[in-house]
Amino acid sequence: MTRLGSIKWLVMVFCLLAGTRVAIYLAAFPFFNNVDEIMHYDLVMKYSTGHVPVGLEPLSSGSARCMAGFSSAEYALPYQNIEKRFKPFYLSDTNDVETKTEFEKNCRYWQSFVNYESGLGPLYYSVAGLWARIGITCGLCQENSLALLYWIRFLNVFFIMALVWLGFRAAQLTFPGNTFMAVAVPLLLAVIPQDTFYSIQNDVLSPLCFGWTFVFVVNFIRSPQPTGRQMLQLGTAMALTVLVKSSNLPVIILATVPVAVRAIRLSRAAGFRDFKRPFLLFLFSAFLPLLGLFVWNLHAHGDIFASEEKIKALSWAHKPFGEWLNTGFLTSKGMAIFWKGLMTSFWCGELVWASQQLIQPGMSMFYWMSSIVFLLPATSLLFGRHEINQKKVNQFMFWSFFLMLVFIMVLSLSFEYRGSVYPTFERPYFTSGRLISGALIPFVMLYLSGFSWLLSWLKSEKIKITLIAILAIIICLSEYQANKPVFSSPYNLYAAIK
């Protein structure tokens, strides 16, 4: 077997590892978590029936009943404040009058909530809604049942496995002939403890869709004469990335730059005729779906990004541009708080248990500190002596992450957060790493590039791979230790099947 063949088999093992790990944890976490999982589930079920929300709509009656019957207070409340029920509502005696009365009261309470996520991009909800409809139609689960909830969550197993394989392909294209990157990138993606994949939410598709965009951009840069098929693939991947979430738009603008630069260069050299058809296919596939999305958003929500209703519902307020810098955000203390919070959640997510973030303090420090230590030397990729196309690929990889970092900083500066639960006036920072999760593959490649550069004195790639394997084991063990209390919940899948 060739070396490449051996690596592919190893990457398949990493895919299985990632799928198994995600399956174990998504079964352990009860419904509904603190990252608006009920809102995302409500949208999935609405899309599953072909209903696309117009404006901010209340939770459906089915979603409200799920929230009342299946939700656990273990996420938000300290252990001593959690009401001690022998069984969750869905396992309680439904003939008991007191239980039924309390259940119906909770249903009415949750149905009064407005789903402020109603304007989010349609791609995830369409895919997950179709998946839910398949499960219901095939008789695998009933509508608004616990089985259906886990059926939708288990879709994430396929997403993470695809992400690991895609990371391998991206590493191959970005670093041709580099065995360390071809192995280390999918391995780190397989064990990264991002708890986004343990719940129902649209962020799980961002790294996958932009990962495809990244691969197609690299193919475009390396191709002397891009074909119509390549440009159609690139344009479609770009459109899908924004259809997941409009916050991915900055990296899509970045991905358009190489195409625009080549088109301008060829037009000046009178060689645009051969590129005209592929270029038109790119424009058609990339921007026609986005135009349709923006027109729909304007019609249904009043603005092209469908964000103003949510901004109002969350008690945010736009700041005049002249006041953006009138904040403690840009002080050394503010930037330190921002970086620590953002990189910790970028690695681990935002789920809490008993109001405490599910991460060991030592690992939190490792994540944000190692991100600085390894990303800084990775900037050498921008200035080293590289073949011209390799240099363009390196620049695209670098800016794919750092443009998203700039975007979330601008987002933090542009709003006033008086009366907001998150961010707050005292801590005006968006530190939700899932908002920049689209750049996960470029980040991992930059991170490992810096790691490799710092250990360049080690001539053996096997030793470097061994060190990353040890790191992967440490990450897995620390994640299990942090999430251990979740496995004893009486509300999770393991308790339900006993």
Residues of the chain by 3-state class (helix, strand, coil), percent to 5: 70, 0, 25
For the chain, give the percent of residues with pLDDT over 90.
55
- Across all residues in the chain, what is the average pLDDT? 89
Mean pLDDT for the stretch of residues 363-390: 87
Q: Cα–chain-centroid distance for residue 272? A: 37
Which of helix, strand or coil describes residue 325? Answer: coil
Cα 261 to Cα 258, 279, 286: the distances in Å are 5, 12, 16
Question: pLDDT grade, residue 311 (50/70/90)?
Answer: confident
CA geometry: angle 20, 24, 25, nearest 5 deg: 120
Q: What is the per-residue burial (b if ≥16 Cβ within 10 Å, else e) of 366-393?
A: bbbebbeebbebbbebeeeeeeeebbbb
pLDDT for position 86: 47
pLDDT at 426 over 90: no
pLDDT at 392 over 80: yes
As a whole number of angstroms, the distance between CA 166 and CA 163 comes to 5
- DSSP 8-state class, residue 31: B
Cα 285 to Cα 122, 217, 282, 288, 445: the distances in Å are 17, 14, 5, 6, 28
Tokens of 224: 């002397």
pLDDT for position 331: 80
- DSSP 8-state class, residue 55: S
Question: pLDDT grade, residue 498 (50/70/90)?
Answer: confident
Q: Which pTM does this prediction carry?
A: 0.93
pLDDT for position 82: 54
pLDDT at 80 over 60: no
pLDDT for position 487: 93
As a whole number of angstroms, the distance between CA 367 and CA 405 comes to 16
Mean pLDDT for the stretch of residues 408-416: 86
Q: Cα–chain-centroid distance for residue 283? A: 26
Q: Residue 127 burial by CB count (10 A; 0-12/13-18/19+): exposed, middle or buried?
A: middle
pLDDT for position 270: 64
Residues 6+ apart with CB under 8 A from 370: 447
As a whole number of angstroms, the distance between CA 316 and CA 423 comes to 9
Question: pLDDT grade, residue 166 (50/70/90)?
Answer: very high
Q: Which of 340, 351, 371 is nearest to 451 (CA)?
A: 371
Mean pLDDT for the stretch of residues 170-187: 94
pLDDT at 84 over 60: no
As a whole number of angstroms, the distance between CA 473 and CA 395 comes to 31
pLDDT in tens, 283-305: 999 999 999 999 999 999 988 98
As a whole number of angstroms, the distance between CA 464 and CA 447 comes to 13
Neighbour count for residue 453 (Cβ, 10 Å): 16
Question: pLDDT grade, residue 356 (50/70/90)?
Answer: confident
pLDDT at 139 over 80: yes
**Which of the residue ranges 382-386, 406-410, 478-482 has the most confident prediction, judged by mean pLDDT?**
478-482
pLDDT for position 53: 92
pLDDT for position 350: 92
Question: pLDDT grade, residue 21 (50/70/90)?
Answer: very high
pLDDT for position 97: 75
Question: pLDDT grade, residue 147 (50/70/90)?
Answer: very high
pLDDT in tens, 252-293: 888 888 888 888 887 776 666 777 888 899 999 999 999 999
pLDDT in tens, 183-240: 999 999 999 999 999 999 999 999 999 999 999 999 999 988 888 899 999 999 999 9
Least reliable range by pLDDT among 24-28, 182-186, 335-339, 444-448: 335-339
DSSP notation for 192-203: ---GGGGSS-GG
pLDDT for position 271: 63
Which of helix, strand or coil describes residue 352? Answer: strand
For the chain, give the percent of residues with pLDDT over 70.
94
As a whole number of angstroms, the distance between CA 478 and CA 150 comes to 25
CB 441 within 8 A of CB 211: yes
Least reliable range by pLDDT among 48-62, 78-92, 309-323, 440-454: 78-92
